[in-house]
Amino acid sequence: MTDTFQSKDIPIIDFSLFETNRPLCAQQIKLACENLGFFYLKNHGFNEKDVEDTFHYTKLYFDQPHEEKQNYKINEHYYGYIDLRQELLDLETQKIGDHKESFNFSKFDDNDDPLAQTLPPLFNEKKSLYSSLSKKCHQLCLKLLQALAIALEIPQSEGGEYWFESKHSYDLKSGDCLRLIHYPPTVVKNDQKDIRAGSHSDYGSMTVLFQKEIGGLEILPHNSTEWVPVPIIPNHVVINVADCLQFWSKGLFKSIKHRVIFREDTCNLDRYSIAYFFHAGSDIVLDRIPSKLIPKDDDNTKYITAGEHLQNKLNISYQKVY
């Protein structure tokens, strides 16, 4: 990867190919995960009206008084409302926390009730909308991992294309999280550095991102020093590899740094996005993927669980909370 990488070089994958030519689709996804770790997905299966409705109620929620939002602030499981400046993603360079507020949903049960939190009234009324989006994101990630398992040629005796599936079951206790994010307009003067989301890589296996209208997301390709914008393409979602999958694949798949900046043309506008963070079960050991394409372990290899990895990351990002 060179410093000449540009936005137009971010792969766009037509996921309808997964139904018509699975091996080809699997190779395209594998290449995207190896070379950059970020790609666009079209024909992804999400209903655009449902996504629009989700954004609509998300905006209504963040428009509420601060005191109301604080009534459901983040709990010990990291679900709930996260205030402006409360999350600090880039400890090395940031002096103040991110200029954003968020709401984290836990996974939902069969009655669309969240498993690890109490919802504010607005979200409780619309819980089926958020539950449906959460579960559809999870199903999409399972399919993407199926594609990777096919491309990795995992033997049938080890589970074949379903090797990842049992390790990411929706029924498992995990760090899965549907996150709504509001980035308000900037409040600092131009001579001060402020950022909407500091430089970081994601913590789990994969992330699904819905962007709306206002851009600002940038990525730092592997072995590059130049940040590259990730423009909004209507009716496309952004997929990226996260840390656990990079660790699991011994670096074959790339979990790269990304951030959300204040762009000059939109710094005085509100920005909204929705992300689904997809994790393996908390007790799943991140041992070697049984593929001839993954290097063999040596005798000194130490493994951690997906839950241990996540907790380490959360303890750093939310050090101001507890």
Which pLDDT score is estimated for 182? 97
The per-residue pLDDT for range 202-258, each reduced to its tens digit, is 999 999 999 999 999 999 998 899 999 999 999 999 999 999 999 899 999 999 999
Q: Compute CA distances 48 → 26, 113, 231, 246, 312, whole Å.
A: 25, 23, 18, 31, 36
pLDDT per position as a tens digit, 112-132? 999 999 999 999 999 999 999
Please give the average per-residue pLDDT across 28-44, as a whole number: 97
Q: Which of 113, 123, 24 is nearest to 72 (CA)?
A: 123
Q: Is the pLDDT of residue 3 over 80?
A: no
Q: What confidence category does residue 322 fall into, taking pLDDT thresholds of 50, 70 and 90?
A: very low
pLDDT at 2 over 50: no
Buried b (16+ CB within 10 A) or exposed e, 178-203: bbbbbbeebeeeeeeebbbbbbbbbb
The pLDDT assigned to 22 comes to: 96
Confidence of residue 93 (pLDDT cuts 50, 70, 90): confident
Domains and CATH numbers, the chain: 7-317 (2.60.120.330)
Reported confidence tier of residue 299, pLDDT bands at 50, 70, 90: low
pTM of the model: 0.94
Closest by CA position to 79, among listed 40, 38, 51, 120: 120
Average pLDDT, rounded, for the chain: 91
Which residues are 229's β-sheet partners?
218
pLDDT of 32 > 80? The answer is yes
Does 88 or 70 have the greater pLDDT score?
Answer: 70
Beta carbons of 42 and 236 less than 8 angstroms apart? yes
CA pair distance 208, 272, nearest whole angstrom? 14
**DSSP letter string over 244-295?**
HHHHHTTTSS---EEEE---TTTTTS-EEEEEEEE--BTT-B----S-TTSP
CA dihedral 221, 218, 140, 133 (to 10 degrees): 160
pLDDT above 90 for 313 = no
Report the pLDDT value the prediction gives residue 5, as an integer from 0 to 100: 87
Contacting residues for 253 by C-beta, under 8 A, at least 6 apart: 33, 34, 37, 148, 241, 245, 246
pLDDT digits (tens, 9 = 90+) for 134-191: 999 999 999 999 999 999 999 999 999 999 999 999 999 999 999 999 999 977 655 5
Query: Does 94 have pLDDT greater than 70?
Result: yes
pLDDT of the residue at 74 = 93
pLDDT at position 165 is 94
Helix, strand or coil, per DSSP, at residue 22:
helix
Express as a percent the part of the chain with pLDDT over 70. 94
